[in-house]
Chains A and B, each alone.
Chain A
Amino acid sequence: MARTSRRLTLLLGLCALAAQAVGDPARSGEVEAPHIRAELFSDADRVAPGDTLTLALRLQPDEGWHTYWMNPGDSGLETRIDWTLPDGAEAGPIQWPVPDRLPVEHLVNYGFEGETLLLSDITLPLEIAQDDSVTLTAQARWLVCEVECIPGDAELSLTLPVGDITDLSAHTALFQRARARQPQAADWPAAFSIEATWLEVTVAPDRPLTPPLQFFPGTTELVEHAENQQFSTDEHGNLIIRQPLNVYFHTTPAQFPAVLRDANGAWSLTVGGTEAPPTGEDRADSATDTVPTRLLALLLAFGGGVLLNLMPCVFPVLSLKALGLARHGGHRGHALAYTAGVLACFLVIAALLLALRAGGAALGWGFQLQTPMVVGGLAYLMFALGLALMGVVQLGAGWMGAGETLTRDTGLRGSFFTGVLAVVVASPCTAPFMGTALGFAVTQPAPVALGIFAALGLGLAFPFLLIGFVPALARRLPKPGPWMGIFRQAMAFPLFLTGVWLLWVLGRQVGIDGLTFALAGLVVLALGLWLWGLGQHGRQRLRLAAALVMLAALWPLWQASGQQATIAVTADDDRWTPQRLAALRAAGEPVLVNMTADWCITCLANERVALDTDMVRAALTDGGVSYLKGDWTRQDPDITEYLAGYGRNGVPLYVLYPRGGGAPQVLPQVLTPTLVRDAVSRAANP
């Protein structure tokens, strides 16, 4: 088989050579190999001694087939060219076009589909007889793959007459096309460091880059190609790129070539070449540089945590906790147990988020709410808690420390789980509130990131620590009494409302059918709780039945989470896609991007108060500003990547791109109509 194809290649090559003899000296004639055609072109018809000419190897794989870049990625093989040249002539390296990411199964390769033009410069020696000719022969070897791979090769030759001057050939259009597909050489300072299992690259571009960004390291075994790249900016405006190290990484290169691609173009860089990677003193400097940033992030996180106590989804749970503390007269143990619960749950979710991101999943804070099962589970939880507060079941008073007969242990455990619960219900509020600090956190090494999440948790727990540790404050809390029973029942209503809101989110995710399943499940859950309440007076069998019924309530929830909303979440004509944004940007159009999610209360408030107002609508229309809305209610890796491009890890994010392609402006996370109108007007007429 191999022999037949080689013979065929030879035969075709001979035909091509024959064709060339009578035709164009700057063209080798095409060699056809399985699933690919190869041909060599020259940018000169005639060459002068000492001149440099450029040759182009054109590869045309069949549709769906591809060849590989200098770093082929996880599998594959880069295309190689071996030159046979006249004595004294020299060939430069392949000038690669900008590669594409080619996902195959769970791997990612870097390569090219469609017409691929690989340029090489050939410098001729000074001593060539003028009436002579030069023969330039390329032995090209490639691997062409669709899913299966076929290695191939071709010998391609050009014979060019030698003259006084170098005459350009008729193939200028082809060479222009080839150069247009190459990255622009950039001398931007770029350095890299390797920390534990991460590659971190710092680039100082001389212009604003437009997401989505892609980074292609030109060396194998460096990064885990299939894993998510994280983009962020540091306080000096440098671009920071982080990607997990390749499992097969073993030697740190001194420097490596790379291509950085944004929505508008691509640049080739040498990483670690123009600026030594930080070592010793440098590293100490950069460490002190980031300390204020880290400190600021910690303070921001702490303050944000304190304010979270006032959020509508957190408040009912917390007011009950305060009530329990009042009952206990401000017990330190309870405050500490509650704090431990908050911290534990925050750290578990944060660690999970970091681990999943390290594993390549495109996730941001709030990812737990992108799963209908979790949103539905929270709605169930709110409903069950509400019923419990209403007295349908006698609460094992442990969880809010309201019972008198309970042992201290159970009470402490209850405080701990109240803390866990506070974080679970607070998570929808956390993302918008803490955007900057959380976005910063996930770009940091794990200990720093976890520290920021811990600061957030400490902030959330802070009021209770105060009550627990400052007796004067505890004494100011209202005295326990019969009013507490009424207060407890009243607190059921905010919980029911939170449940309604969660069901609305679930409805947006799973549609009316899914929502109906979930509502039916709530009825079953209510039945179970009611039976449990009946069984609390010693009827064991009833309690068993109640437990079974409550378990059965999970089935409709499971059904619900399998449904898919059929209603388009946003009108299709303003739906954000990376392609749509890139097209508008390429045309120099002004664009307002709104990244939102149904479970993000701040996002909804901003839309209601600012974006969806006549004033802003008029400003958008008058200024000819396109409005693109990205919906992160369900998981969307494109949006996660876009958010990461702005150093964010959650919604909302509002980005305004001015007319003519200037630097994008990020709007604050809390919007007012005038703020948006003014920003939109400036972007429309920069």
Chain B
Amino acid sequence: MKSLHLALTGCLLALTLGAAHAAPRVGQPAPDFSVIDTAGQTHSLADFSGQTVILEWTNHDCPFVKKHYVSDNMQQLQRRYTENGAVWLTVISSAPGKQGHVSPDQADALTRDRHAAPTAVLLDESGDMGRAYDARTTPHMYVIDADGVLRFMGGIDSNPSADPADIPGATPYLANAARAVLDGHTPDPAVTRPYGCTVKY
């Protein structure tokens, strides 16, 4: 019998050569995560069951992120949707030593100085959460509905520029999607191209 198991092991070894990278999909349950925030508190997706969750990947040194903070666009979105009952998690996946990596204090200072209003800022130093969501750029936005199903992923708006002057003329994809999910509708488009700087894993 041992030989049989060895035979199977041969087959299984071939199987485990590398797990295929499964990207998150709209309409499917959003990947779970377990990440600490700037206060050291651990958050996971299950904690927000029953609430709409908006994820924002960020890197404060990225020009595309600056575009949306200098113009107060990101902060307005954060305020609008948290006031409407959504949870807004700002996620920093920059690895230690890479651009955009910050200490909890620095992250809090950024929130304060920029008058940002996220529910929490998550410090994903390992990049596990970022990779689970296949977060590619900063900003990269996701909307998850109250049942934990991913409803939107992609760019914050339709104009992939770094110029704040381009914000008013762009289609606000994230804002539209968040509104739709809060109202119980399906966002259209549900996926858009994320633009910005690469996440510095």
Contacts and interface: CB of A to CB of B under 8 A. Distances in A.
Interface stretch (B76-84, B112-120, B191-199): B191-199
A74 interface: yes
Interface in B172-201: 189, 191-201
Contacts of B7: 381, 399, 417, 420-421, 424
B1 A377 contact: no
Contact of B162 (A151, A349, A358, A377): A151
Contacts of A355: 20
Contact of A248 (B13, B154, B162, B196): B154
A594 B197 CA distance: 42
A420 B12 CA distance: 11
Interface in B1-20: 1-4, 6-11, 13-15, 17-18, 20
Interface in A246-265: 246-250
A446 B154 CA distance: 28
B62 interface: yes
B192 A250 contact: yes
B191 A149 contact: no
Contact of B137 (A75, A249, A352, A359): A75
Given A151-B63, A247-B191, A373 B13 contact: yes
A510 interface: no
B3 A248 contact: no
Interface residues of A, number: 59
Residue in B161, B192, B198, B199 whose Cβ sees the most chain A Cβ within 10 Å? B198
A614 interface: no
B136 A150 contact: no
A345 interface: yes
Interface string A80-123: 00000000000000000000000011110000000000000000
B61 interface: yes
A662 B163 CA distance: 50
A4 B191 CA distance: 38
Interface string A346-359: 00110010011011
Contacts of B161: 77
Contacts of A75: 136-137, 194-198
Interface string A394-421: 0110110000000000000110010011
Q: Kindly state the interface size class of chain B when it binds its partner.
A: 35 or more
B198 A105 contact: yes
A377 B199 CA distance: 38
A378 B14 CA distance: 11
B5 to A, nearest CB: 9
A249 B26 CA distance: 12
A148 B10 contact: no
B3 A388 contact: yes
Contact of A356 (B11, B20, B98, B197): B20
Given A374-B14, A381-B10, A248 B193 contact: yes
A268 B64 CA distance: 31
B13 A377 contact: yes
A532 interface: yes
A148 B193 contact: no
A147 B3 contact: no
A464 interface: no
Nearest to B162: A151
Nearest to B15: A352
Contacts of A399: 1, 3-4, 7
Contact of A107 (B3, B4, B8, B198): B198
B104 interface: no
B2 A532 contact: yes
A57 interface: no
B197 A420 contact: no
Nearest to A78: B160
Contacts of A384: 2-3, 6
A270 to B, nearest CB: 22
B11 A424 contact: yes
A414 B11 CA distance: 16
A104 B1 contact: no
Nearest to A359: B20
A367 interface: yes
Nearest to B199: A105
A513 interface: no
A423 B1 CA distance: 18
B134 interface: yes
Contacts of A385: 3, 6
B12 to A, nearest CB: 9
B23 interface: yes
Contacts of A413: 4
A143 B195 CA distance: 12
Lowest 10 CB-CB distances: which A-B pairs, in order?
A: A368-B14, A151-B162, A421-B7, A396-B1, A359-B20, A424-B10, A417-B4, A75-B198, A248-B193, A221-B193
29 contacts: A74-B136, A74-B198, A75-B136, A105-B199, A107-B136, A141-B163, A143-B63, A148-B197, A149-B63, A247-B134, A247-B153, A248-B153, A248-B192, A248-B194, A250-B191, A356-B17, A356-B20, A361-B18, A373-B13, A374-B14, A377-B13, A378-B10, A381-B7, A388-B2, A388-B3, A396-B4, A421-B10, A424-B7, A529-B2
Given A413-B4, A417-B4, 12 more contacts: A75-B136, A75-B197, A75-B198, A106-B201, A107-B136, A151-B162, A248-B153, A360-B21, A374-B10, A399-B3, A420-B7, A421-B7
